[in-house]
């Protein structure tokens, strides 16, 4: 089971948060925010690796259940090992919503949102997979002591 910790604007779009739970997958919690582009997009960021995943928000009621598939596709594209990825995806079969709990992850997610907004404003039509992969290569200060960027942190976590 994973916990998706949403911002207020994300939870208002999707539903109300559940009570407190703990993630049981090796990657831990995911954070989510809504980007009000046309069409609207959900930005998910893994709390441990800071790996970003962009998913179309509509329909909002199923956006959280679409996270595992989108994440799996991106992880395969990075070259993640299938056996460890299968274990993580199996743990993502059950998802619950909660409120955010880490200001550090929220700060990174806000920076990703600003960068993605800039990318979007220059193009107006974008491929969410390409933007996710681009954001995953951005150096993040919480990762400076270890892997520097979310893509490297994810591959290390999936070994």
Cβ atoms of 128 and 74 closer than 8 Å: no
At 27-49, the pLDDT tens digits run 999 999 999 988 899 999 999 99
Query: What is the average pLDDT score of the chain?
Result: 90
Under the banding of pLDDT at 50, 70 and 90, the label for residue 123 is confident
Instruction: Answer whether CATH 3.30.420 is correct for domain 2-153.
Output: yes
Q: What percent of the chain has pLDDT over 70?
A: 95
- What does DSSP say about strands 30-35 and 2-6: parallel, antiparallel, or unpaired? parallel
Look at residues 32, 33, 24, 7 and name the one whose alpha carbon lies nearest to residue 99: 7
Residue 52 predicted with pLDDT over 90: yes
Q: Domain boundaries in the chain?
A: 2-153
As a whole number of angstroms, the distance between CA 110 and CA 48 comes to: 16
Query: What pLDDT sits at residue 75?
Result: 96
Whole-model pTM: value is 0.93
Cβ–Cβ < 8 Å for 6, 33:
yes
Q: How many CA atoms lie within 13 A of 134 on its CB side?
A: 15
The residue among 18 and 87 whose pLDDT is bigger is: 87
**What sections of the chain are H helices per DSSP?**
8-14, 67-78, 82-91, 103-123, 128-136, 150-157
């Amino acid at each position: 089971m994973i916990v998706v910790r949403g911002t207020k604007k994300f939870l208002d779009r999707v539903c109300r948060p559940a009570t407190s739970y703990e993630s049981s997958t090796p990657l831990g919690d995911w954070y989510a925010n809504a980007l009000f582009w046309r069409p609207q997009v959900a930005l998910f960021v893994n709390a441990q690796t800071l790996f970003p995943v962009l998913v179309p928000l509509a329909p909002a009621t199923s956006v959280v259940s679409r996270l595992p598939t989108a994440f799996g596709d991106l992880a395969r594209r990075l070259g993640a090992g299938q056996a460890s990825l299968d274990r993580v995806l199996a743990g993502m079969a059950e998802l619950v919503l909660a409120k955010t709990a880490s200001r550090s992850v929220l700060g990174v997610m806000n920076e990703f949102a600003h960068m993605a907004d800039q990318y979007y404003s220059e193009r107006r039509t974008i491929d969410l997979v390409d933007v996710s992969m681009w954001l995953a290569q951005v150096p993040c200060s919480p990762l400076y002591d270890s892997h520097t960027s979310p893509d490297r942190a994810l591959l290390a976590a999936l070994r």
